[in-house]
Structure 1
């Protein structure tokens, strides 16, 4: 597939620590300062519009960084305004699903998302399309896969979510409104693989699709624009 525009233009909201393995990997650290206890509610962050790119667009690698973390995420595309939604009705607010690569610079911050490491330009490949809600039998039983240069580097499943899709929507809309076109990421599995300059990264979600992009050094992209 050639380069494509992302299929939606709404705000992308990310969720941290929503895979069981991701939370388990922290071990007893969640009970020590500054955290003191495991999170009671969803830990959210925003991937603003500057981060969003489409299928085939280059992922910029900052000049002072050697590798980037590739975060495979199921994107829930909201179909109508959602405020204080009941869990039993939450799936009715979904327009469809898409594939997202939640790119970040490797970091250790968890409860306080590392803004500079997550919202750089081009750090959120999305697409290339939205699959209608009814075409996905169960969003909580989808295999998620990361391939780098054709090799499988990670495989997990949304069966391991702490908050499945309906529960996540209900909990998030308890304190904030989601609007049509917004994308809510269910989370990224533990041990996200790293990619370096020149690597071709493909995020696959069975039944939803894939998004593929190549990591390119930021200075090379700048030189290309000047030519």
Structure 2
């Protein structure tokens, strides 16, 4: 399933939907028609666990050719928000998780030349999240080096504590797309949260694709363009630390909970690694996509 958080109009409350063809089907309302109580928010659905997602999948299948009145809207007529508009906790970011990105970062950002022996973990606060088509803010008084990074995002579905790699994917709810926006000149003594955690620095969406639809999260093409010019293109098979290891490593010390998000790192092609270096400026448009999941599009605006 492809699950979204949407508004039917600018004044409407955010609601949980499922994309079916060119429609958004309201999860709570279609559940009510089927006599099954289903929630109106993504986090509430995740909290209910596999029985709820299985029930929803069956209901969608049963009604696929005849949506009851009031349960479905044209996708083109709704506004999509971030799938989880306000995560409960900081997003777990993974740094230097593609070999070529390690090399370009060592040249441009004074990071180590050697491949990391363990995942490099930082975080982005919930306030950094924005949804599809929302603006990435460029504050010229704070940064002159605003950069881009396309990433596969992993959304946890169950509480994970000290989980072995072999079981880790069983704890995943689904996958999405994230752009890890970074103010390269805002790193402080090696600490990254101020550089990567500013408001609007975590574009997220457009949907969450449930894990049953992604047979292998390490076989997905991903790419990013700025003003229509391709800057990044790779495949998740090139991750140094694969998703099961990331879940196992984080959960060894930090409990992962339903709805937690892991941004799994970016391939090479970031602005800092280019010659000459390239940065985002007001008026630019960033687009990023992970194959099989969806595309994000964001203008950059001055604040």
TM-score higher than 0.5: yes
CA RMSD of aligned residues (A): 2.3
Aligned to 1:61: 138
Alignment of 1:31-46 (within 5 A): 39-46=116-123
Cα displacement (A) at 1:66: 3.9
SS at 1:167's partner residue? Answer: helix
CA offset digits 1:4-58 (Å, max 9, x no partner): 3210132311011111112234279637xxxxx7543221111101101100111
Displacement after TM superposition at 1:101 (Å): 0.7
1:4 to 56, 80, 91: 80
Query: Among 237, 247, 251, which residue is 1:169 paired with?
Result: 247
Q: Secondary structure at the match of 2:80?
A: coil
The structure that has the greater radius of gyration is: 2
8 Å contact kept, 1:66–1:197 = no
**Length, aligned pairs only:** 213
Cα deviation, residue 63, structure 1: 2.3
Residue aligning to 1:136: 214
Structure 1: 5+ residue stretches without partners: 32-36, 219-227
Aligned counterpart for 1:208 among listed residues 281, 286, 293 = 293
Q: Distance in 2 between matches of 1:110 and 1:161?
A: 26
CA separation of 1:112 and 1:66: change in aligned 2, threshold 3 A: closer
How far does residue 149 in structure 1 lie from its aligned partner after superposition? 1.8
CA distance in 2, matches of 1:114, 1:55: 24
Q: Do 1:4 and 1:57's aligned partners in 2 also have CA atoms closer than 8 Å? A: no
> 2:285–2:297: 8 Å Cα contact kept in structure 1?
yes
Distance in 1, matches of 2:229 and 2:146, equals 17
Change (3 A) 1:139 1:46: same
Q: Which residue in 2 is equivalent to 1:22?
A: 101
Work out the CA distance in 2 between the residues paired with 1:215 and 1:190.
21
- The answer on whether the counterparts of 2:122 and 2:192 sit within 8 Å (CA) in structure 1 is no
CA separation of 1:29/1:72 partners in 2, compared to 1, >3 Å: closer, same or farther? closer
Residue segments in structure 2 that go unaligned for 5+ positions in a row: 1-75, 272-278
Scaled by the length of structure 2, the TM-score of the pair is 0.65
How far residue 168 of structure 1 moved from its aligned partner, in angstroms, is 1.4
Distance of 2:253 and 2:103 partners within structure 1: 26
- Structure 1 pair 113/19, CA: closer, same or farther in 2 (3 Å)? farther
* Alpha-carbon spacing, 1:159–1:201, altered in 2? closer, same or farther (3 Å): same
- Structure with larger RCO (C-alpha < 8 A, sep 6+): 1
Mapped partners of 1:98, 1:30: distance in 2: 29
SS in 2 for 1:126: strand
Residue in 2 aligned with 1:221?
none
Work out whether 1:188 is the aligned partner of 2:188: no
- My pick for the range that moved more, 92-101 or 41-50, is 41-50
How far is the alpha carbon of 1:87 from its aligned partner? Answer: 0.6
Q: Are the aligned partners of 2:136 and 2:300 in contact in 1 as well (CA < 8 Å)?
A: yes
Change (3 A) 1:72 1:113: farther
Give the 3 Å change call, closer, same or farther, for CA 131–30 of structure 1 in structure 2: same
Equivalent residue for 2:23?
Answer: none
Counterpart Cα distance in 2 of 1:38 and 1:206: 27
Q: Are residue 52 (structure 1) and residue 129 (structure 2) matched?
A: yes
